[in-house]
């Protein structure tokens, strides 16, 4: 089984592409995120109050599962099951925290997903668990959840103090002369309204301050600094450029191979046939005519091969009629039956459509040449996040591997150069699945 996940592609070095940096390790967002607007402050205060109630229960559950898991390691099965469940529980809490803060402050965080290992089988699953356990993005989210829980407990205390202050301020209305203030100091009747009002103001100030502090901490944890954003953008630009160069090299090699192995020998054969016909045109006109007819037929075949080669370089139908029509034409020329399910509500950017088209075309070519597949399915969608997603699956033998200069290497680099991701899953025995996702600029 071979699984590759690339985001973005590696520099052009020999060997298979390494695994990608997981989603959410560094989120590139707008440089300014306002966290102190009245609506967000009120929302933060409400969420902190809720976390003050929910958070302790969540952490109690986490530490209970951890304790039981470590305690039952002697009974290997039960302990390991609990520790595995703990990993997924931590991921769920981290996902909730990121979604909560992104919804509250519109931080523009990338979607948080389970990390996947490029290794196959059960070893790959264990490696995925380990990668998820040490994921920095997950622990940042858990730290944020813990801080928010503490702030929530303080917020609940401040809200309770505000309620107590209201009660103190209203005590004289019920004929009570002296009031015990927080169980300690006594407040005489004339001072009760002033003390109650001061307590209300102070408590509300604490709640508002905690809500603002919550936003500042969230931004500090999840939003990278401007310098970090520039470093990440520079890294992404370098890797995309390297991927584009590598993709161009792979494409040039493919064109040279197709010319050398296909069109060039056929043209040489046509020249030799015409030369032989020229020598026979006087002595044996019938044989010369037969040779000319053979050369004519070979010329038509060479023209067909050149057209296919040109279509592989640039599909004019893609630019004229869009990805749906281009894929329909591609499927009609495929040597194996192809089931198309394309749902595109709009045109995407040219770079995105070209990258996805050529990835699908190369995948179908590989399936026809190497997989012994009897059928293939192609699904294309525009996702909610505005990205163009495609999935190609065949029922062949599987075992496809990324080799330098090969078709899969070209897919990985071409998709990476467009700023997308490519995932190739091909266990021995099949099926082979190629999944690509490219940002779609309409």
Among the four given CATH numbers 3.30.750.200, 3.30.420.40, 3.30.565.10, 3.40.50.2000, the one describing domain 243-439: 3.30.565.10
Cis peptide before 161 (omega within 30 of 0): no
pLDDT of residue 374: 84
pLDDT category, 366, cuts 50, 70, 90? Answer: confident
Which one-letter DSSP state was computed for residue 245? H
pLDDT in tens, 170-213: 766 655 555 555 555 555 556 667 777 888 899 999 999 999 99
The pTM of the full predicted model, rounded to 2 decimals, is 0.54
HEC letters along 57-124: HHHHHHHHHHHHHHHCCCCHHHHHHHHHHHHHHHHHHHHHHHHHHHHHHCCCCCCCCCCCCCCCHHHH
pLDDT recorded at residue 125: 87
Nearest to 128 by CA among 139, 112, 117: 117
Mean pLDDT for the chain overall: 77
Q: Taking the domains of the chain in order of start, what are their residue ranges? A: 27-223, 243-439
Q: What is the mean pLDDT of residues 290-311?
A: 71
pLDDT at 363 over 90: no
Main-chain dihedrals φ then ψ at residue 194, nearest 5 degrees: -65, -45
Contacts by 14-22 with C-beta closer than 8 Å and gap 24+?
14/404, 15/404, 16/401, 16/402, 16/403, 17/402, 17/409, 17/412, 18/118, 19/116, 19/117, 19/118, 20/421, 22/113, 22/115, 22/131, 22/135, 22/137
Distance, CA of 349 to CA of 439 (rounded, Å): 9
Summarised one tens digit per residue, pLDDT across range 393-439 is: 888 888 877 777 677 777 887 788 777 888 888 887 778 888 888 88
Render pLDDT for 138-156 as a digit per residue (tens, 0 to 9).
999 999 999 999 999 999 9
């Amino acid at each position: 089984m071979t699984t590759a996940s690339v985001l973005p592609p590696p520099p052009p070095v020999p060997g298979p592409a390494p695994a990608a940096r997981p989603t959410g390790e560094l989120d590139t967002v707008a440089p300014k995120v306002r966290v102190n607007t009245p609506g967000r402050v009120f929302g933060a205060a409400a969420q902190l109050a809720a976390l003050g109630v929910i958070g302790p229960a969540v952490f109690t559950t986490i530490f209970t599962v951890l304790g039981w898991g470590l305690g039952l390691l002697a009974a290997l099965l039960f302990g390991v099951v609990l520790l595995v469940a703990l990993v997924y529980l931590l991921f769920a809490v981290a996902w909730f925290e990121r979604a909560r803060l992104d919804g509250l402050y519109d931080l523009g965080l990338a979607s948080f997903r389970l990390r996947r290992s490029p290794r196959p089988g059960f070893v790959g699953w264990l490696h995925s668990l380990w990668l998820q356990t040490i994921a920095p993005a997950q622990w940042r989210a858990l730290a944020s959840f813990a801080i928010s829980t503490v702030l929530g407990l303080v917020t609940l205390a401040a809200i309770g103090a505000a309620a107590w202050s209201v009660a103190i301020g209203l005590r004289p209305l019920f004929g009570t002369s002296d009031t015990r203030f927080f169980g300690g100091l006594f407040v005489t009747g004339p001072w009760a309204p002033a003390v109650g009002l001061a307590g209300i103001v102070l408590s509300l100030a604490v709640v508002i301050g905690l809500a603002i502090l919550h936003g500042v901490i969230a931004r500090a944890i999840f939003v990278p600094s401007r310098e970090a954003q520039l470093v990440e953008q520079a890294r992404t630009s370098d890797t995309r450029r390297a991927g584009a160069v590598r993709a161009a090299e792979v494409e040039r090699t493919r064109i040279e191979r197709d010319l050398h192995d296909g069109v060039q020998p056929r043209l040489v054969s046509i020249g030799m046939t015409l030369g032989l016909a020229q020598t026979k045109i006087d002595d044996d006109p019938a044989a010369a005519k037969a040779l000319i007819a053979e050369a004519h037929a070979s010329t038509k075949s060479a023209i067909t091969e050149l057209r296919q080669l040109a279509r592989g370089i640039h599909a004019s139908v893609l630019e004229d009629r869009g990805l749906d029509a281009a894929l329909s034409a591609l499927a009609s020329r495929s040597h194996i039956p192809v089931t198309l399910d394309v749902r595109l509500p709009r045109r995407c950017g040219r770079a995105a459509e070209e990258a996805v088209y050529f990835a699908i075309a190369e995948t179908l070519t590989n399936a026809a040449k190497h997989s012994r597949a009897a059928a293939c399915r192609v699904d294309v969608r525009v996702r909610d996040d505005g990205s163009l997603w495609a999935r190609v699956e065949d029922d062949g033998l599987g075992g496809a591997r990324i080799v330098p200069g090969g078709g899969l290497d070209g897919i990985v680099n071409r998709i990476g150069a467009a700023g997308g991701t490519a995932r190739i899953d091909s266990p021995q025995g099949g099926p082979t699945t190629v999944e690509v996702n490219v940002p779609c600029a309409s």
